[in-house]
Amino acid sequence: MGKSQTLKKTIIFILCVFLAILSLMPFVIMIVNSTRSTTEIQQHAVSFIPSKYFSSNLKILLGKSFNPAVGFLNSLIVSVGATVLATYFSTMTAYALVVYEWKLKNAFFSFIMAIMMIPAQITMIGFYQMVYKIHMTNHLSMLILPAIASPSMVFFMRQYMKPALSLEIVQSARIDGAKEFFIFNQIALPIMKPAIATQAIFSFVSSWNNLFTPLILLTDQKKYTLPIMISLLRGDIYKTEYGSIYMGLTLTALPLIVVYLLLSKYIIAGVALGSVKG
């Protein structure tokens, strides 16, 4: 028993190490190659020793319409905006579903569950035509405002709020003369902080990584978000500049990797939490 158990454990451990290497390897190659010259990469595409072409790769990259600073800033505006709106208004909608008794409440909740799974991407033609008609195609607000209606986040917030927020607290605040809106902002929101933090991370990441919607709405280079910038690397202008392509990829992936590793504890816990509640 003991021997076969140890053997099993060893096999599992080796498999896990293999998968871990598989997760890391592409990014390691990417980061190292971003410091190597195109000639070096052509001779040996895999190396674990960084070279000294970091700045020249960067120069070539930035010389050709690739402007990660602009993309970074636009992505930041969109992601922060969408995340703030989504978390605030989803909590507010959940509050309406948990705290108040109203006639259409159950119907509204069923409705939210019904539309939760429908991806925005599938009705993009109508969305694009609507935005085009009102001449808002190059406005980042069109990527931010739809976040106010995030059905799956409302669902999550409601499931979290139900046991977390006691109606007695709301009641006693009312007796103290607090207005409903004040109670929501000053009492409900702080109680919801852990749920908001979890959802904020995922909202931010999905907004940050979104390619489809910005690709369709944004035609002005000054408005490009980071994923569109990345898609430029696939274009002909970088065809033979391997070092610069890796540099561009590294610039977009490395910040995410660093932030992820710093917050990994919360992110992993958040994924697990989402599944239990959902």
Residues 86-145 that bind another protein (CB under 8 A): 89-90, 92-93, 95-97, 99-105, 108, 110, 113-130, 132-133, 145
Nearest alpha-carbon partner for 148 in 170, 125, 120, 113:
120
| Among the residue ranges 28-36, 56-64, 76-84, 191-199, the one whose residues contact another protein (CB under 8 A) | 28-36
DSSP class of residue 218 equals -
| Among the residue ranges 13-21, 49-57, 58-66, 190-198, the one whose residues contact another protein (CB under 8 A) | 13-21
Q: Is 172 in the site for another protein (CB under 8 A)?
A: no
101 burial level (CB within 10 Å; 0-12, 13-18, 19+): exposed
Q: How far apart are CA 278 and CA 272, in angstroms?
A: 10
Q: How far apart are CA 31 and CA 200, in angstroms?
A: 28
Min dist. Cβ of residue 58 to another protein (A): 17
CA 18 from centre of chain: 27
| Closer to another protein by Cβ: residue 65 or 100 | 100
Q: Which two tokens stand for residue 6?
A: 């140890």
Question: Which residues, numbered 223-262, are part of the site for another protein (CB under 8 A)?
Answer: 226-227, 230-231, 233-234, 242, 245-246, 249, 252-253, 256-257, 260-261
| Among the residue ranges 3-11, 57-65, 76-84, 189-197, the one whose residues contact another protein (CB under 8 A) | 3-11
Q: Is 192 in the site for another protein (CB under 8 A)?
A: no
Q: Is 268 in the site for another protein (CB under 8 A)?
A: yes
247 burial level (CB within 10 Å; 0-12, 13-18, 19+): buried
Nearest alpha-carbon partner for 96 in 113, 86, 108, 110:
108
Binding mask 49-88 for another protein (x = CB under 8 A): ----------------------------------------
Q: How far apart are CA 277 and CA 2, in angstroms?
A: 38
199, amino acid identity: Q
Ordered DSSP codes for 23-35: HHHHHHHHHHHTT
Q: Is 177 in the site for another protein (CB under 8 A)?
A: no
| Among the residue ranges 41-49, 53-61, 62-70, 191-199, the one whose residues contact another protein (CB under 8 A) | 41-49
Q: Is 157 in the site for another protein (CB under 8 A)?
A: no
Q: Is 200 in the site for another protein (CB under 8 A)?
A: no
